[in-house]
Structure formats: structure tokens, C-alpha cells
Chains A and B, each alone.
Chain A
Amino acid sequence: MVSLLDIIGPVMVGPSSSHTAGACRLGLLARNLVGGTPERARIELHGSFARTGEGHGTDKAIAGGLMGFRPDDERLRDALEIAEREGLDYVFEKASLGDEAHPNTTRITLERGDRKAVMTGASLGAGRILVTEINGYNVEVSGSYHTIVLIAEDVKGSIAAIATILAEHEINIANLRLTRKERGGDAFMVIEVDDMPGEGVRDEIRALPWVRWAFRLDKVSA
């Protein structure tokens, strides 16, 4: 359903909802994977992102997103200078991420302390985004919800255990997707929730013996 506020909005730094606002949101989501502003970032730009990215400020928008700037933050314009001051060591590269990739796709490789992450995502237009891969797993994360992503051993009752933790914290599940590469192999769970899960929720999920890792991705869309 189209919302009136989707049409009159978002408030954003120009010039392009796909190449600037959407790119910023991809940076914001990626930042979550290492728990804050990364120390090193390699940002590969594919298709239209590579061709018109600098003119659209795509590089500034992604770097700004990695530092936690939102799409309406005027600091985006100076994000590359700010990144250099703040010690975010970034490199942009043009890349071909395959014929199947959406024209506005980026692959972002991050390091922060001993944490590393790789995320591939696309800006679909009108500021909407879709993350398609995290650390080698195929996912679908839109950033329209607060999201918990986790890798778990494929054990019985895993969904029930996670749902119980969320219910105890009065967090309502909007969408839940479970994928696994093979029976008995690792399961990848993407849980989109209506209410912001605290660090405590994530830590409880991480403490489950069969959970390999879990991330909390904050909502990045209005």
C-alpha cells in the first residue's frame, strides 16, 4: 500500500533518491555488521553506481552511511573529508558484480577491530534498498524494519526458541525467512521485527549454543 508520506518524502540530501539516499542506507546497514564505524572499507561499485556514482555523490553517501550519517544529514556532502579525519580508511573500486546484479549494486567489505564483514546490496529506486548477500549467504533485507540476521546450526526448535526470546521482550515479528544450503547444514535466518530489539535481545540470541553469529540491523528507511 502506498503511503502519503512515501510520496511527500523522504527528506534527503540530493541529488538522487537511488544514487544518494539509497546508497547512504546501504552504508548504514553495512555499518551494523561491524558494530560501528569501520576502520577499513573497500567499496566496489557496479553498473550505474560505477558510471555516475561520483556525480551523484554515491561515494560520499556510502562513506557517510558507514559513519552513521542518515540520508538527510548535510554532512554527507563532506563525508570523504570527514572519513579521512575520523580514520575511516576507504577505497572505491569499479567492479563487475555479474550480469544478474541490479544496475545500482555495491559490495562493501569492512573491518573494525577483529570484526570483518562483506555485504552486497542494491539501491532499487526512490531510496528503497535490498541487501542480497551477507558474509557469503544469500539474504533479502530491505532495511524497512529492524532486522535480526543469524546463522545457526540446523537444529529442531530453533525458530520456536528465537520466537520465545522475542516474545519475552514484547517484540512483534513482521517477517521471518529461513534458508539453508542443505539438510543439516547451516541455517540462515532473517527476522524483521516491528519494535527495536535492544543489545540484550541480540546477546540472548547469541548465547544460544547453536547460534554461530547474530547481527542486529537497525531500520534505515523511514
Chain B
Amino acid sequence: MYRSLADAIRDAEQKGISLARLALDTEAKDQGRPVEEIRAALRRALEVMRGAVERGMTGDLFSASGLVGGDAAKLRTGPAGPLAGTPFRDVLARALAVQEVNAAMGVIVAAPTAGGAGVLPAVLTGLAQARGLPDDAVIDALAVAGLIGAVVAERASLSGAEGGCQAETGAAAAMAAGAATEMLGGSPAQVGHATALALQGTLGLVCDPLGGLVELPCVFRNATGSAIALTGIELALAGVEFKIPVDEVIDVMGEIGASMDVRYRETAGGGLAATPTGRRLARERLVQIKKR
């Protein structure tokens, strides 16, 4: 797979093909597998993503600690806010839904990780539904997301323990922004700007889950990450350009992650995990492995 989004964008432009096509062809060549097989794997991923969105909307799922759950349903049935009736609110609901399923040991697609698994399904299935797009368009978008994620993995990191939450929900937002931009008709160059616009919005974001569990704030970070992805998409499709090239934004995300204090890298030593209430909740709710 590519190590530079600029290279991928240039190649797609020169060949006059979409980034989805470029990503699928490159993966097929790299892995020695037919494109159809890769599309089939992505189709299965999409089915699991849709299943998680649906399961999470029922409002009866809670994590073992009870710290998270039941909130996605509130966006479906709760009082209206300024975004009521818009795809934006629906995307937020979907992000919470998938992450609540994850916290309750349901089946999800780690994309790029389990902790950031809500953003991509929320943004892609939410916007595809709003626009009435066919599954093939969403599968193409997943390929673009995979391309962006692969570049982030090569140049920076996709692990909260290595790079903070910017490397998980931040990377997920960047992937979703770029992927949805092409899905909605944006050019390869616009995909680059959308990716950069989303990622710049999460630079420096720390990984600070209570008790080290993928629950709080992870569930909500997937909602705010989705909101940031939507911002990148809206701006890029309107023609906004981000002046720092996307590869450089990815590089700096890696640099910031590497220099981040260990307290902010999934150790529960800092951030929200170390607040008085964060510590108390972790103590009260964090059940320990018992001898049997």
C-alpha cells in the first residue's frame, strides 16, 4: 500500500481513476489476491458495521462496568437539539451506537482500532443513507479509508498506547473524512484536504480512558471524532484547501504522539482518567479478575 497520500493522489489523477480504484488495485497487487476478493472482505466489514449500528440503537446495552451504554438511543428518541432531523445528528447516534456495542462485547470492525471503531461506520453509513447511495459506493469508500489508514500506520501510528487518542479516533476521523469526500463526489485532491482538515482538528488529543478501559471517554470521542470528520468533508467539498500538505499533517501527528507523556497514552495515569471523579469511578466500577 502507499506510504504517501500525495503519491496516491498524484497517481490517481494521472491515471484518471478514483482513489478507491487505486487502493483496490494496489492491494490486489500487494497481496496477490483478486480485487473481487478484497471487495468481498470489505462487504463483510460493511455488514458487520451496519449490524453494530442497529444493535447499538436499541438502548439496552451496557458495558460490564456500567459506565457507558444507552446513550445512542437518546439521540433517536430524546428531545430535539439544533441538529434534529439532520444527517449530522444521525451520524452522532451511529457513532455512539457502534462504540456502545464494542464496550458491551458485541461484534464490531476494528477500523482502524476497536477504540475508534465507531467513526467510520457512523460517517459512511449515515451519509450513504442520507444520500441514498448503493452499498458499492460505501465499499469503495472503505477502500479509500483503508488507504488513508495505511499511510497513517506507516508514517505515524494507529495505537493509543503509542500516539494518544489522535492516533485512534483522530486517525478514524481522518479516514472517514477522506473516504466520504470521494463517496460524495469529491476529487482525489479534495480527499487529501478533507483528511488533513479532520486530522488537524484532533492533533494532540490524549488517550485517557478511565481505568484503562475502552469505555469513557472513548464512546464519546467517537461522536466528537465523527463531528470533526463531517467538518472536514463539508469544508473540502466546499472547496476549502488546507495549506499544510496532508502527509506533513500525518507526520506531525506521529511526532506529537511520540513526545506525549506516557500518562496520556492509554495508561489511565492522566487526563480524564486522573480526575478525582475519574479515579473514584474506576475504583468503584473497575471489577478485577477474581480467583475462582
Judge: A and B partners, yes or no: yes
Contact residues of A with B, CB < 8 Å?
Answer: 1-17, 20-21, 45, 48, 50-60, 72, 74, 76-77, 90-94, 125-127
Which residue of B has the minimal Cβ distance to A91? B292
Contact, CB under 8 Å: A15 / B1 = no
User: Least Cβ distance of A51 to chain B in Å?
Assistant: 7
Please report whether the interface of chain A is mostly helix, strand, loop or mixed according to DSSP.
mixed
Interface string of B140-158 (1 = CB under 8 A from A): 0011011101100110001
Contact residues of B with A, CB < 8 Å?
Answer: 1, 23-24, 27, 30-31, 38, 41-42, 44-45, 48, 63-65, 101-115, 117, 120, 142-143, 145-147, 149-150, 153-154, 158-159, 161, 175, 211-215, 286-292
Q: Provided the pairs A2-B1, A52-B286, A74-B107 are in contact, do residues A15 and B147 lie with their beta carbons within 8 angstroms? A: no
Contact, CB under 8 Å: B30 / A1 = yes
In the bound complex, CA of A17 to CA of B159 (Å): 10
Which residue of A has the minimal Cβ distance to B68? A15
In the bound complex, CA of A21 to CA of B142 (Å): 22
In the bound complex, CA of A77 to CA of B105 (Å): 6
Q: Provided the pairs A55-B211, A90-B292 are in contact, do residues A16 and B64 lie with their beta carbons within 8 angstroms? A: no
Of the candidates B102, B145, B290, the one whose C-beta lies within 8 Å of that of A14 is B102
Contact, CB under 8 Å: B289 / A14 = no
**Pairs of residues from A and B, 7 with the lowest C-beta to C-beta distance, nearest first:** A14-B102, A4-B146, A7-B149, A15-B214, A2-B150, A52-B212, A4-B27
Contact, CB under 8 Å: A13 / B105 = yes
26 A-B contacts (beta carbon < 8 Å): A3-B150, A4-B1, A4-B24, A4-B147, A5-B27, A6-B153, A8-B142, A9-B109, A9-B110, A11-B44, A11-B110, A14-B102, A15-B103, A15-B105, A15-B213, A17-B114, A51-B288, A52-B213, A55-B64, A55-B215, A57-B64, A74-B107, A92-B291, A94-B289, A126-B110, A126-B159
User: Least Cβ distance of A83 to chain B in Å?
Assistant: 10
Which residue of B has the minimal Cβ distance to A127? B110
Of the candidates A15, A16, A21, A91, the one whose C-beta lies within 8 Å of that of B291 is A91
In the bound complex, CA of A9 to CA of B27 (Å): 14
* Chain A residues within 8 Å of B110, by CB: 9-12, 17, 21, 126-127
Q: Provided the pairs A52-B286, A57-B105 are in contact, do residues A5 and B146 lie with their beta carbons within 8 angstroms? A: yes
Which residue of A has the minimal Cβ distance to B146? A4
Which residue of A has the minimal Cβ distance to B214? A15
Which residue of B has the minimal Cβ distance to A4? B146
In the bound complex, CA of A56 to CA of B113 (Å): 14
Contact, CB under 8 Å: B211 / A52 = yes
From A2, A6, A125, A127, name the one whose CB has the most chain B CB atoms within 10 angstroms.
Answer: A2
In the bound complex, CA of A76 to CA of B31 (Å): 30
In the bound complex, CA of A115 to CA of B24 (Å): 46
User: Least Cβ distance of B39 to chain A in Å?
Assistant: 11
Contact, CB under 8 Å: B105 / A60 = yes
Which residue of A has the minimal Cβ distance to B41? A5
* Chain B residues within 8 Å of A15, by CB: 63, 102-105, 114-115, 213-215
Contact, CB under 8 Å: B214 / A4 = no
Contact, CB under 8 Å: A8 / B149 = yes
Q: Provided the pairs A7-B111, A50-B289, A91-B291 are in contact, do residues A125 and B150 lie with their beta carbons within 8 angstroms? A: no
Contact, CB under 8 Å: A16 / B115 = yes
A16-B114, A57-B64, A126-B158 known; 10 other A-B pairs, CB under 8 Å? Answer: A2-B1, A4-B24, A5-B31, A6-B153, A8-B120, A11-B45, A55-B211, A72-B48, A125-B161, A126-B113
